[in-house]
Chains A and B, each alone.
Chain A
Amino acid sequence: MPEISAQTEPDPIATDSPDADTETVAKRKRMGVTFWIAIGWVALVVFGAIFQPILPLQSTTKPDPCSTYAATMANYGISGTAAQLYNNSQADSPRQAQQMADAGTKPPADSISACPNPTLNSKTNAFPSAQHWLGTDSAGRDTFARIVAGAKVALLVGLVAVGVGMILGTLIGLIAGYFRGAVEGIMMTFVDVALAFPALILAIAIVAFRGQSLFNVCLAIAIVATPGFARLSRSSTLTFSEREFVMAARVMGASHRRIIFREILPNVALPVVAFYLLAVAIAIVAEGGLAFLGLSVPPPTPSWGTMIQDGYNVINDSPFVVMVPSMVMFVTVLAFNYIGDRFRERFDVKEAAL
């Protein structure tokens, strides 16, 4: 490193920074705005996830007919009409369909009205337009509608599954940290073993063995999330159960259950919630990881991870398709991280505690 110091330049090796106070005041205001943007984004995602079924969105699962025909045309090298015939089960084979088309057979009327010209009307991997705000995917499905539907998976995997892991893990940690002894020994051995193993591999194993479904993805996330919460809540429980107020409650003859839930839990809750916000972000990313391994929710149900994975296949021709879900996932993770950071700052939860 060059000698950065010059006479005029202030040196942090000495002491405080310039205008430390005015600076933090200004920063606080700026951070406030970002914080509310983050909250707003999360609220939007939650809103989309909850109201997705009643929102006037396009189909998230049904491929665009023209895109299907276009794909058939490309696959078998047949004309648009032949593709329509073949896809509408008018012909047994592409070749037969082509012969029928050549002979002048027309596809069903509704098929034609849905897609007058597969070549011209195909909307595969389209850029955003008034009709498709965020474009379409490789099956011509509306990306916006799928993003909104994917929010549901993200939140189930993130908020709900991690929430289950949080409750379980916190309970384990509370019990282990409060009762100590053999209970703690056994529980923490399991926790350590679970933590000793790469979480993603464990999640892969759970989903692969149990089968690909939304429930199993959530189950895997919940299981993987549990030990971290257990370790965290145990260590906080250890510090709090030695405090005066707990001693006092004990001397007063309060029951174990009362001490754990009324005296200790409220104190343990703070770092646990801080960790939760972080873990939600990690879980949303984990779903994406599973998707890359083909282990997220089965198609055609949209999830951000599967959308990224689908889009990755056409990254060279239509990078936009993969960009949209990637950005959405990134922004959501960013929002949760930011909220988590602010939470830690606000309640002075030490980063090291996590």
Chain B
Amino acid sequence: MRVARKVLLSLLRLAGAVVAVSFLTFLLAHKIPGDPTAIILQDKVNTMVPCGSVLLGETVDCGALAPKVVHPRGTEAPGAVTSVCHADRCVIASDALRHQMGLDQPVLTQYVHWAGKAIHGDFGTTYDTQPQPVWPQIAQALPPTLELMIIAMVLSLIISIPLGIYAAYREHRLGDRILTTASFLFVALPNFVLAIFLIIIFVTWMGAVQSVYVPWSNGVGKNLSTLAIPAVALSLGMASVYQRLLRTDMIATLQEDFILMARAKGLPTWRILTRHALRPSSFSLLTVFGINVGTLIGGTVIMEVMFSISGIGKLITKSIYVRNYPTIQAIVVLIAAVYVAANVLTDIFYSVLDPRIRHA
């Protein structure tokens, strides 16, 4: 079938994008000053090995005090590394560790090595004083993020579709004008500013409790109440955009002959609006909805930080701070994959919505 081929093609194209994105991140991360081994070692050294009487800059053997270096894969490696006294702390020279971690190899080799394992779901271990496997970390951070994103997306559709239909139906009349103005304001309202306003109104003034995120297992109601403000803050801006797009397209659709024909059949207005006019009017909305997944990820990061939700956004920012390459890499691939999935789904949905695409 043509659709299948089309979807396959876009999948291939986008899979290429995933590879490119992940390689670029790899490059970016590795070309930038800052040494991950220093992070692994320094922290430990800072706490464990004071220089004592050794002169600054002098090479010493930290000997028994040298921390056991753990290979990213989790295999223990001998801690035979020399250390240097730096600013009254004993810093272990990281060349050996770097070699063990494979960081002294060409970037391409490293990438291929990493990608080979990543395909099998092995994203390595973190660069950390206590290295941990990356995937469980992500798996733990994923649910709140996905939940927030999905709620925000669904909410934005629930809000925008009826309002878009209504505004188109009442074009230029009071209800439409109010909605047009409101959507203009909400489009311009940054989601964190909206979140702040919501907090001031509901928490500061009305005394609602904004608690820290709890998973579903602690009760769905409680879980949802913690996400209410961030989800609304994320969705209203998107909803305004969708409402505007739907309204514009719907106004054009309502001028179509087939709408008049549907009216001449004696169908009630709501039925004409929902059954006849909505579907052909939703293509722009769908396009932007697909594109918005990327924007939404950005917004989610901010909400996670604002509302202390331990999700992917918080994880990636934290990982960027501490240059935790494996985690960054894994999340980047994940985000790119989500983006790809969103695009492919959009394409599929297009042909579901429009039979002309299916048979074109």
Contact A197 B336 (CB under 8 A): yes
Query: Known contacts being A1-B273, A319-B200, is A308 close to B339, with CB within 8 Å?
Result: no
What is the 8 Å Cβ interface bit string for chain A, positions 296-339, against chain B (1 contact, 0 not)?
00000000000010001001100100110010011001100110
- Tell me the nearest residue of chain B to A203, going by C-beta: B298
Asked whether A315 and B301 contact (CB < 8 A) given A13-B269, A209-B34, the answer is no
How long is the Cα–Cα vector from A341 to B254 in the complex, in angstroms? 24
Are B306 and A312 closer than 8 Å at their CB atoms?
yes
Residues of A within 8 A of B199 (CB): 315
Total CB contacts across the A-B interface at under 8 A: 157
The answer to whether B169 and A4 have CB atoms under 8 Å apart is yes
17 pairs, A vs B, C-beta closer than 8 Å? A1-B166, A13-B263, A192-B17, A193-B20, A196-B17, A196-B339, A204-B301, A205-B328, A208-B317, A208-B320, A312-B306, A319-B205, A322-B200, A323-B196, A329-B193, A330-B190, A338-B188
A273 to B26, CA, bound (A): 34
CA distance in complex: A342, B162 (Å):
27
* Inter-chain contact B192/A198, CB cutoff 8 Å: no
Answer whether residue A181 sits at the interface, using C-beta atoms and an 8 A cutoff: no
Which of A67-75, A98-106, A246-254, A286-294 is near enough to bind chain B?
A: A286-294
A316 touches B203 (CB 8 A): yes
**Chain A residues, Cβ within 8 Å of B45:** none
B29 at interface by CB-CB < 8 Å: yes
B172 at the interface (CB under 8 A from A): yes
Contact B196 A201 (CB under 8 A): no
Q: Does A352 contact B (CB under 8 A)?
A: yes
Residue among A323, A326, A329, A341 with the highest chain B CB neighbour number at 10 A: A326
Which of B188, B196, B255, B260 touches A334 (beta carbons < 8 Å)? B188
- Evaluate whether A292 and B169 lie within 8 angstroms (CB atoms) in the complex, with A308-B196, A337-B184, A337-B188 already known: no
Q: How distant is the Cα of A352 from the Cα of B204 in the complex, in angstroms?
A: 40
> Which residues of A, 80-103, contact B by the 8 Å Cβ criterion?
none
Measured CA separation A337–B189 after assembly (Å): 10
Supplied contacts A201-B316, A288-B192, A312-B306, 5 more A-B pairs, CB within 8 Å: A13-B263, A15-B255, A196-B21, A201-B301, A293-B305
Is B59 an interface residue, CB under 8 A from the partner?
no
A15 to B256, CA, bound (A): 10
Q: State whether A209 and B193 are in contact (beta carbons under 8 Å apart), knowing that A198-B298, A319-B200 are contacts in the complex.
A: no
Interface residues on A, range: 35 or more
- Cross-interface CB contact of A12 among B171, B188, B298, B301, cutoff 8 Å: B171
Kindly provide the distance from the CB of A162 to the nearest chain B CB, expressed in whole angstroms. Answer: 16
Contacting pair B190 A333 (CB below 8 A) = yes
Q: Which A residues touch B317, using CB under 8 A? A: 204, 208, 293
The verdict on A159 contacting chain B, using a C-beta distance below 8 Å, is no
In the complex, A18 Cα to B176 Cα: how many Å?
Answer: 14
Candidates A2, A210, A329; contact of B270 at CB < 8 Å: A2
Mark interface residues in B168-200 (1 if CB within 8 Å of A CB, else 0).
111111000000000011011110110011011
Closest partner residue, chain A, to B251 (CB atom): A12
Cα(A11)–Cα(B197), bound, Å: 37
Cα A196 to Cα B165 in complex, Å, equals: 31
Asked whether A199 lies within 8 Å of B298 as measured between CB atoms, the reply is yes
* B320: contacting residue among A23, A204, A308, A319, CB under 8 A: A204
* CA A341 to CA B180, docked complex, whole Å: 13
**Across the interface, do A326 and B301 meet the contact criterion of CB distance under 8 Å?**
no
CB-based nearest B residue for A17: B172
On whether the beta carbons of B306 and A12 are closer than 8 Å, the reply is: no
Question: Does residue B70 face the partner (Cβ distance < 8 Å to A)?
Answer: no
Closest beta carbon of chain B to A196's beta carbon, Å: 5
CB of B41 closer than 8 Å to a CB of A: no
Expressed in whole angstroms, the minimum distance between the Cβ of B317 and any Cβ of chain A is 5
Closest CB-CB distance, B328 to chain A, in whole Å? 8
B25 at the interface (CB under 8 A from A): yes
Interchain CB contact under 8 A, A198 and B306: no
Interchain CB contact (< 8 A) of B335 among A12, A198, A292: A198
Q: Is A8 interfacial (CB-CB < 8 Å)?
A: no
Q: Which residue of A lies closest to B169 (CB)?
A: A12
Residues of A103-123 whose CB lies within 8 A of B: none
B291 CB to nearest A CB, Å: 9
Partner of B187, one of A199, A316, A337: A337
A154: shortest Cβ distance to chain B, in Å? Answer: 12
Q: Which chain B positions have C-beta within 8 A of A17?
A: 171-173
B317-349 CB mask vs A (1 if < 8 Å, else 0) is 100110100001000100110011000000000
Please tell me if the beta carbons of B269 and A5 are within 8 angstroms of each other in the complex.
yes
> CA A281 – CA B204 in complex, angstroms?
28
* Residue-wise interface mask of B (254-277) relative to A, using a CB-CB cutoff of 8 A (1 in contact, 0 not): 110001100100001110111000
Contact status of A326 and B193, CB under 8 A, knowing A17-B171, A198-B297, A315-B204: yes
Residue contact B188 to A316, C-beta cutoff 8 Å: no
* Contact among B20, B169, B328 with A189 in the assembled complex (CB-CB below 8 Å): B20
Q: How far is the CA of A215 from the CA of B21 in the complex (A)?
A: 25
B320 & A1 in contact (Cβ 8 Å cutoff): no
| Residue of chain A at shortest CB distance from B316 | A201
A3 near B204 (CB under 8 angstroms)? no
Chain A residues near B316 (CB-CB < 8 A)? 201, 204
Query: Which residues from chain B contact A292 at a C-beta distance below 8 Å?
Result: 192, 302, 305-306
* Chain A CB within 8 A of B12 CB: no
- Does A199 contact B295, Cβ atoms closer than 8 Å? yes
